[in-house]
Structure 1
Amino acid sequence: MAKFLKKYNIELKTIGPVFIGSGYTINKKEALFKNDKVVIIDTRLMFDYFIKKNLLKKYQEYMLDTGKDLAVFFKDNNIDEKIYKNWNVKELSLGDTKGTDDGDVKGRGIERFVRDGNGKIYVPGSSLKGMLRTILTGAYIIQNSDCGISNKLSEAELGLGNNPSKKELDKTYKDSLSDIDIDIFHKNLFSDSNNRIDNKINDTLRGFMVSDSEYISDEDMCVCQKVDISLDGTEIAIPLYRECIKPGVTIRFSITVDSNFCDYDKEKIIKSIGCFYENYWNKVSKQFKKAPISNDKYTCFLGGGAGFESKTIIYSSFDRKKAVDFTSNILIVLFPDAKHDKDTDVSPRVVNCTKYNSNKYLFGACSLRKFEEEQMDFV
């Protein structure tokens, strides 16, 4: 490997369940829901069996019956565990799921975790890099308080005026974030006079390459329900269920830095993670005194369900009062039916949690446990 490349091997340990969505939801017609687990079946092998036993027509009729689940179909057609166990089944713990008046985990379905073409579980490098990019951006703003980023965000807010549409918000807010990204990370990397600074080839983080994670075992997965915990400790179970990496599981991946483009090294990256979370702790976490907040100073938030405030640079850019106002203005547009009062200690007014094995956890929280440079022999 060339001398201008440095490779770091990273380990994150999940403090709470982590969810990276595949965009696919599994329902009661595709899995067996039991008291404490869900059995997910390889449908390709299931259909092979249906063809062999001339059950396809019956299965098509069953699919049109909204009242029946897969367990009923299996029972009616004498398909017992000895048969379906051979269909590459995966069993997931249901965790501490709680039904609601208008549906339960079986009726609502489970949002699946991303997998590769062979059905193996992994965390995409794009998700890991997205998390790190937010951290590096937020840390830069905190460490360079006179950089003018807060002014750019404030100008975007003023430009929206009163009662903007979601479309207007998306464009204005995203445009301001793009401008901020250019200010922080773009440099004239090439001498071509026609090359504009906002061109993507001038993004220094092109030299910050993040791998996919190593595969995650099926035994390290569970199903978790979203539970919102408010400032006063009130818990609200939301009928939203996700396939997640369990708490206490190690996620291994690597970062390769090309110093021709990017000047981040081990010390800067670790310092940024600590800086970002310290700011988050002071302005957000410690307000939720009855929630399972992480005390690890190298905590970061990965994947879906981790909360809007952990995925943005708003709390990095402003003092807490202004950050609350700014976040509330955005959430009022995005979720008009919810209450987002500005006269509060934090916004959003709930922290995204879940329960597993009778314990409360933050969704998406991970702790940095290993950051080692890989020693290489240069040719």
Structure 2
Amino acid sequence: MDNYHVFEFKLTTLAPVFIGSGDKYTSKQYIYENGSYYFPDFMKLYQKLSKNPRDVQAFENYLLTPKGNQRKMRLTEFLNSINFDDRDLGGYKVKATGFETDKRPDSLNDIAQFIKDPYGYPYIPGTSLKGAIKTILINTYFKGQEIPWGGKDDIFNEIRVADSAPFEKEQLVICQKWDFNLTKEPKPLPLTRECLKPHSKATIQIVTTSSRAAGLIASLRDYADDFYKQYQRRFLGQLPAEYEQDYFNHVIYLGGGTGLWTKADYSRINIEEVRRHTPVRTKMKGNGVYKLTKAKNDSFKIKRNGQIEQRQLIQNRDNLFEMGKCVFKVNEKK
């Protein structure tokens, strides 16, 4: 047991974070009304519709028929068409912020779902955080080295990362994907995700089973700072200053949609080889595009040199964030 060390990893999201479940909501599975996106419990909805056999039949046809007028009909429109106005249907709501789309808020189609526990609450899986930690260590501590994957000497087997506690559903926001090419204006794309909102906080336990693994986690803040400097030199430094959240220490990029350079092994990736095997239509130009998203720009307070300072999460007026950007602190529990 002397080799076991327990650490508290305290994470704060600086931008929307998306960790997908692999599922999505279609426009037949949610309602936009009164400034919120409502994701009802379909079992409860079906039970209430079952009081009227014609409504049940219409609902089944709506869900199963891929042709005709019902193919593109949204759930709101369908319920209105059968004069069903009950909205006590379980499930949950995500309040609209006005940044979900560059079009009308009721025009969204598919929404990629954030991963949730069996009770329907979002959480950060330990595997996702461990993957982000691996990326940092591979590019700093193990830079250019052969790493013994999978064998008895695999150091990552000695680092065990727990899942976070569940978040309240009010911590979710819906965000659109935006890409930014240096030669063009930021471009909205038809990809929408359910994300943890900026300035969400989680405390996650990390257990190491060897002294060498404990040393890596104890020094993780320094390794993260080194990796972030590499990322700035390779990619982020070309970004217009107003789009970079560059005034924070101990950065980690978490989840999907953060871009190639937040997950790559810099010493091994051959970008020319990547381009050579990429179809012409999607061929990467330069170092690629910046992965951004829009959300509400919240202010927060920090204590610096004994003084309380008021800060903003982003500096640009476009409400564009770097997707998945977070900061952390890590300390060993005594």
TM-score range, shorter chain: 0.7 to 0.9
In 2: Cα distance, 1:91 partner to 1:50 partner = 24
| CA distance 1:250–1:85, shift in 2 (3 Å) | same
- Quote how far apart the aligned CAs of 1:339 are: 4.0
Superposed, which structure 2 residues align to 1:259-278 within 5 Å?
259=210, 262-278=213-229
Structure 1: which 5+ runs fail to align? 143-148, 150-179, 187-197
Answering whether residue 300 of structure 2 is matched by residue 356 of structure 1, we say no
CA contact (8 A) 1:332 1:338 kept: no
Amino acid in the other structure paired with 1:57: Q
Paired position in structure 2 for 1:59: 59
Answering whether residue 277 of structure 2 is matched by residue 333 of structure 1, we say yes
Paired position in structure 2 for 1:121: 122
In 2: Cα distance, 1:107 partner to 1:91 partner = 14
| CA distance 1:104–1:23, shift in 2 (3 Å) | farther
Superposed, which structure 2 residues align to 1:163-242 within 5 Å?
183-184=146-147, 186=148, 199-232=150-183, 234-242=185-193
CA contact (8 A) 2:12 2:199 kept: yes
Greater fraction helix:
1
TM-score by length of 2: 0.83
| CA distance 1:98–1:90, shift in 2 (3 Å) | closer
CA contact (8 A) 2:101 2:175 kept: no
CA contact (8 A) 1:38 1:94 kept: no
In 2: Cα distance, 1:331 partner to 1:37 partner = 42
Paired position in structure 1 for 2:13: 14
In 2: Cα distance, 1:332 partner to 1:32 partner = 44
TM-score by length of 1: 0.74
| CA distance 1:292–1:99, shift in 2 (3 Å) | closer
| CA distance 1:340–1:257, shift in 2 (3 Å) | same
Amino acid in the other structure paired with 1:120: Y
- Quote how far apart the aligned CAs of 1:249 are: 1.0
| CA distance 1:233–1:249, shift in 2 (3 Å) | farther
The structure number with the bigger radius of gyration is 1
Name the stretch that deviates more: 133-142 or 45-54. Answer: 45-54
| CA distance 1:286–1:10, shift in 2 (3 Å) | same
CA contact (8 A) 2:94 2:174 kept: no
TM-align CA RMSD: 2.4
In 1: Cα distance, 2:42 partner to 2:215 partner = 45
Paired position in structure 1 for 2:80: 75
Superposed, which structure 2 residues align to 1:239-254 within 5 Å?
239-254=190-205
In 1: Cα distance, 2:50 partner to 2:21 partner = 28
CA contact (8 A) 1:227 1:238 kept: yes
Total equivalences in the alignment: 306
- Quote how far apart the aligned CAs of 1:104 are: 8.5
CA contact (8 A) 1:306 1:363 kept: yes
Paired position in structure 2 for 1:140: 141
| CA distance 1:6–1:108, shift in 2 (3 Å) | same
